[in-house]
């Protein structure tokens, strides 16, 4: 009888432990794998000026929000060998740094120390509503301008991002500029999600990208430059010496050095045709 009681106690203890672990993981009590790749000290050294008074987003991008957002995308920074993981995280951080940069050529600590300086587009030229998109119709009076680390824009991005992440992207797009965890989640959603004919930036940076015949004809070669094509190729790719592309590459080179990892080839998209021009 004592043996049976011991077994029963062990079973109950195991079940309670598992339940406790599951609850703790959901509530954020357990560390995210990303903290092993990018501890707070490295994050702070990358974004030296994000909390300066000169940055409109001062205080909006804390380390804790970035870490919490990565829990929603467990493959981010955990795919492939350690070199691949570091390169992907460096590439992601470089892209969001350019999208939110407050740097300039003679800025203190250099132009690539000013990422995460803005949380929304300052002077949008439109409300970024594609009225022809019936699947994700614009809500009256709402602007789908660039917001968050990746500067997500257009109703056809806000809609599916909101559906995937649990907020109403069409009726409440402003939440991306008001909630730092959601802001980081939208950036990671865009990075991790394939939107055909575009591959995901994640697949490109971890070596899973397999170019189609159209990709080969457009010279869309895997590498950091292709992530730029995915993000803003219609405006920046196929252009000689584009300053925006060079800024993205500059951030990537700095971060790759901080991660002690090689950047890999094909850093720009100068010779690539954007996806929209197939």
Catalytic residues: 99
Contact 266, 223 (CB under 8 A): yes
- DSSP letter at 198? B
Measured distance between the N- and C-terminal CA atoms of the chain, rounded to whole angstroms: 75
Which residue carries 């050529």 as its tokens?
105
Distance, CA of 182 to CA of 75 (rounded, Å):
18
13: Cβ contacts below 8 Å, ≥ 6 apart: none
Judged by phi (left if over 0) then psi (alpha if -120 to 50, else beta), residue 219 lies in: left
CA angle 46, 49, 50 (to 5 degrees): 85
Distance, CA of 198 to CA of 275 (rounded, Å):
7
Candidates 264, 89, 84, 64; CA nearest to 192 is: 89
232: Cβ contacts below 8 Å, ≥ 6 apart: 244
């Amino acid at each position: 009888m004592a043996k049976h009681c011991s077994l029963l106690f062990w079973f109950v203890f195991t079940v309670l432990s598992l339940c406790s672990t599951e609850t703790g993981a959901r509530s954020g009590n357990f560390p995210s794998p990303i903290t092993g790749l990018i501890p707070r000290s490295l994050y702070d050294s990358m974004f030296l000026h994000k909390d300066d008074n000169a940055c409109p987003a001062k205080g909006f991008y804390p380390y804790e929000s970035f870490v919490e957002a990565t829990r929603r995308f467990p493959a981010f920074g955990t795919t492939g060998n350690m070199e691949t993981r570091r390169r992907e995280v460096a590439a992601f951080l470089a892209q969001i740094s350019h999208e939110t940069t407050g740097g300039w050529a003679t800025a203190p600590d250099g132009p690539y120390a000013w990422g995460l300086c803005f949380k929304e587009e300052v002077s949008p030229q439109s409300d970024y509503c594609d009225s022809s998109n019936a699947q994700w119709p614009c809500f009256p009076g709402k602007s789908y301008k660039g917001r968050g680390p990746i500067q997500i824009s257009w109703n056809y991005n806000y809609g599916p991002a909101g559906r995937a992440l649990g907020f109403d992207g069409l009726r409440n797009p402003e939440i991306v500029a008001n909630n730092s965890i959601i802001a980081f989640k939208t950036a990671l959603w865009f990075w991790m999600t394939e939107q055909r004919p575009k591959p995901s930036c994640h697949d490109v940076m971890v070596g899973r990208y397999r170019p189609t015949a159209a990709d080969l004809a457009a010279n869309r070669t895997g590498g950091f430059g292709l992530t730029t094509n995915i993000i803003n190729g219609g405006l920046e790719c196929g252009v000689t010496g584009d300053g925006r592309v060079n800024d993205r590459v500059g951030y990537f080179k700095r971060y790759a050095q901080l991660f002690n990892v090689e950047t890999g080839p094909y850093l720009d998209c100068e010779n690539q045709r954007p996806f929209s021009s197939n």
